[in-house]
Amino acid sequence: MDTVNVNGNIIEWKENMTVQDVLTAMKYTFKLLIVKVNGELVRRDQYDSYKVPCKSEIDVIHLMSGG
Amino acid sequence: MSVKELQSRHKLLKKQSYEPKELYRGYTDRVLYINLDDNTVAEKPIPAMMKEKFIGGKGYGLKLLWDGTRPDTRWNDNDNEIIISPGPIAGITQYAGSGKSLVVSISPLTDIVIDSNVGGYFGPFLKFSGFDVLEIQGKAKNDIIIVIDGIRNTVSIEEAPGEEIDSHIIAEQLTEMYSESADPRDMKNVSVISAGNAAQNTLIGLLNFSWYDIKRKKCRLKQAGRGGIGTVFRDKKIKAVVVKVTGVSPDPNHVADMEPIKERGARFAREMKELDPHQCRMKQEGTAHLVNVMNDYDLLPTHNFKFGSHKDADNIHSRVWNKKFTQGMNDGCWIGCTMNCCKGVDDFELKSGPYKGHKVIVDGPEYETAAGVGANLGIFDADAVIELNFYCDTYGIDTISFGTIVSFAMECYENKLITKEHTGGLDLHFGNIPATLELIHQMARGEGFGRIAGLGVRRMKEYFAKNYGADMKFMNDIGMENKGLEYSQYVSKESLAQQGGYAMTNKGPQHDEAWLIFMDMVNNRIPTFENKAEALHYFPMFRTWFGLNGLCKLPWNDVEPESNALEAEPNKVPEHVDNYVTIFNAVTGRSIDKEELIRQSERVYNYQRTFNIRRGYGLRKHDAQPYRAAGPVTEEEYLSRQERYDKQMKDIIGIDPAGKSLKEKMDITRKYREDRYEQLLDAVYKRRGWTKNGVPTLEHMKELGMDLPEVVDVLKKHL
């Protein structure tokens, strides 16, 4: 199976998979995120267009918020 | 009765003038001391040593409380104190979140020091009246109010038999009574502290700090919620404390250098304008934006922290709160706050209790309230949450403790540890809204099962075991308290670091020391014990600093600059940390860096730990957590996330779950998780400079410059 590694979790990679697809697959709905694909920072406005290569190492850093 | 008639019934017990004193670089360097035993009103100077080592806010409160009480002073002894101190930065209006007060006392729930932070205008107005601290000791014979008149420079103690106790009424009565005129521009120069009817009949009383909302022409209330300080307040027979000032000038603190404060404030305001709508939407939803996020990540406590999500959670989703909250209002709980997150529901018609049919403003709900009196009770009805929020506030009880107490009672009821016979007929199944409302009204009346529930989870466990033969071991597992304080509203089972962030706190499990769940559980960025220990050193120390200075934590990381993504440690939000260093220096004229900021906190944090030890607590055994905070107590819990637990057993613990019974799997999981927590304690104590028993070492205290004689005396008995 083709995969990507998201925060240490292995998930299935699909052709034309975008950063937003990864966030959806992981159910990451929090908004204060920093996303790096193979060390490269992906801006929020690129989430829908940035294609994730197969076997990527993806960091989705959730920042903190709340009282 | 009109306000004039109410005032005519006041009996003046003491009125004393004081010399006015302007603030200089954030400080007046004096304490207003009041003793209600003999109506003493006195000024106390703040020595240079105290200012250097304790900074202000919580630091001042701890120092004065230590000096003013004995190691065995109980919460309801005359010498217990309520100390309110904002800190040197409080009262600036050029940077968001700069109006907080810290309140400390000996808690009726925990028997150790409680500290609780609160917005509203009281703290800044206290400073503008000429005092860094208000220290109240003793008990009045009859109900009194204290009035600090910063216009005429007088302090008075007045018997006040007629005013209501519940906060939404007394705040309005006293604001009108002591305002220079009925003009809203004068009304906003008055702030009132009050509690409520349930504060005097439970141990979970809170203090409401008011601010006058000039647009709505109503008093708003912010809460010093945790640990029962409102109960201490009513035990002292204080109905209210009032402060009034002439107004707020552009620089009442007489800061050392205003320009850097303005520049950072303007920069932050731009972030709020441009980024907040895409980030947390604090301006529209406040912290309630988190309800659905926590549900999505299995972190929203439901049914007494058994689970982290629920199928009906959309009913209390942030978009629901967005519609309920009145938008476009001035919702900053201190002047100049551009975060504006103190949201309110206007014209809410109450459906129960003594104010049934009244249309009221409800401050909130914030996340903790929506989770505590909503999801954790199985109540997924927004209007019920709003009504419970209102009554908790006006009756003067903490929504967090109320939620965790009632959810515990509900689980006991569903497990038949208690029955209708014990609850006085209340059907305490999860989700029962009428029963929950009746329970809160009982707390206010001091009646029935409300009286028992008002004792808090720790005492309920003892009461149920002693009087009803309930299973203590099971209750210890499911009763979500540590040190006697009820847990705040996050599921910590899958984050070992957050388990420490809760149970290793000085005051009890409140998330204001550290919230590490995402860093730990989702980001997998702090995998080792040493990583977690570093986080459990840095974040509690950093966040302690807000409470020394009169600052709100929310502007630190509830909106974050675009450049934060480029930072090596984005979770620290380094640009905002730099804002705080800059502002502290600009207010006080001192020259600290971000390392000294942490050391300032470390001094106070370790002093508080030592204070707990002085009182017979503060050791490793007191940092123990209920198993519900760490893992699945019941079969129902394990089975609900069986795939997760089985996978962890195989991949992390290294035991194949195949062929194992459910009980065997639960036992294996528990042993592993409890052992990990013990290892975490070792790692964190080491990082913090403490022994394996959780005692700060003398070397560490010396290094911090906190080897004060009274501190050394306490510590050396435990080393």
Radius of gyration of chain A (CA): 11
Candidates A27, A29, A66; nearest CB to B515: A66
Domain ranges of chain A: 3-62
Cβ–Cβ contact B575 with A under 8 A: no
Q: Torsions phi, psi of A57, nearest 5?
A: -100, 115
**Of B695, B602, B559, B501, which is closest to residue B53 (Cα–Cα)?**
B602
Is B564's CB within 8 Å of A64's CB? no
**Cα–Cα distance measured from residue B470 to residue A18, given in angstroms and rounded to the nearest whole number:** 54
Is A66's CB within 8 Å of B367's CB? yes
**Residue B261 token pair:** 């404060």
Residue B556 near residue B550 (C-beta atoms within 8 A): no
Residue B122 near residue B101 (C-beta atoms within 8 A): yes
**Of B241, B339, B246, B346, which is closest to residue B285 (Cα–Cα)?**
B339
Residue B554 near residue B366 (C-beta atoms within 8 A): no
**Cα–Cα distance measured from residue B557 to residue B390, given in angstroms and rounded to the nearest whole number:** 28
Q: What is the pLDDT of residues B123-157, one digit of tens each?
A: 999 999 999 999 999 999 999 999 999 999 999 99
**Cα–Cα distance measured from residue B46 to residue B48, given in angstroms and rounded to the nearest whole number:** 7
Query: Which residues are CB-contacts of B509 (< 8 A; sequence separation ≥ 6)?
Result: B480, B481, B482, B483, B485, B486, B487, B488, B502, B503, B625, B629
ipTM: 0.95
| CATH topology assigned to domain B496-559+592-716 | 1.10.599
Shortest Cα distance, chain B CAs vs residue A25, angstroms: 12
Domain ranges of chain B: 3-244, 275-486, 496-559+592-716
> End-to-end alpha-carbon separation of chain B, Å?
61
Residues in chain A with CB shorter than 8 Å from the CB of B279 are 31-32
Residue A31 near residue B280 (C-beta atoms within 8 A): yes
Residue A65 is predicted with a pLDDT of: 79
Q: What is the mean pLDDT of residues B242-248?
A: 97
Q: Kindly tell me if the per-residue pLDDT of B676 is higher than 90.
A: yes
Q: What is the pLDDT of residues B514-529, one digit of tens each?
A: 999 999 999 989 999 9
Is A61's CB within 8 Å of B525's CB? yes
Q: What is the pLDDT of residues A6-16, one digit of tens each?
A: 999 999 999 99
Query: Which residues are CB-contacts of B67 (< 8 A; sequence separation ≥ 6)?
Result: none
**Cα–Cα distance measured from residue B288 to residue B32, given in angstroms and rounded to the nearest whole number:** 37
C-alpha torsion B2→B3→B7→B8, nearest 10? -30
Neighbour tally for B288: CB within 10 Å: 29
Cβ–Cβ contact A10 with B under 8 A: no
Residue B24 is predicted with a pLDDT of: 98
β-bridge mates for residue A18, sequence order: A51
Neighbour tally for B386: CB within 10 Å: 23
Residues in chain B with CB shorter than 8 Å from the CB of A60 are 522-523
| CATH topology assigned to domain B275-486 | 1.10.569
Domains B275-486 and B496-559+592-716 share a fold: no
**Cα–Cα distance measured from residue B471 to residue B452, given in angstroms and rounded to the nearest whole number:** 17
**Cα–Cα distance measured from residue B119 to residue B105, given in angstroms and rounded to the nearest whole number:** 18
Query: What is the crossing angle of helices B662-688 and B496-503, to 10°?
Result: 60
Tokens 């190691």 — which residue? B71
**Cα–Cα distance measured from residue B542 to residue B606, given in angstroms and rounded to the nearest whole number:** 13
Residue B439 is predicted with a pLDDT of: 98
* Alpha-carbon dihedral sign for residues B427, B433, B435, B440: positive
Q: What is the pLDDT of residues B467-486, one digit of tens each?
A: 999 999 999 999 999 999 99
SS3 B352: coil
| CATH topology assigned to domain A3-62 | Ubiquitin-like (UB roll) (3.10.20)
Q: Torsions phi, psi of B219, nearest 5?
A: -80, 135
Q: What is the pLDDT of residues A36-58, one digit of tens each?
A: 999 999 999 999 999 999 999 99
Cβ–Cβ contact B554 with A under 8 A: yes
**Cα–Cα distance measured from residue A61 to residue B429, given in angstroms and rounded to the nearest whole number:** 39
Residue B33 is predicted with a pLDDT of: 98
**Cα–Cα distance measured from residue B569 to residue B685, given in angstroms and rounded to the nearest whole number:** 23
The percent of residues in chain A predicted with pLDDT above 90, rounded, is 93
Query: What is the crossing angle of helices B58-68 and B594-614, to 10°?
Result: 30
Q: What is the pLDDT of residues B426-447, one digit of tens each?
A: 999 999 999 999 999 999 999 9
CATH of domain B3-244: 3.60.9.10
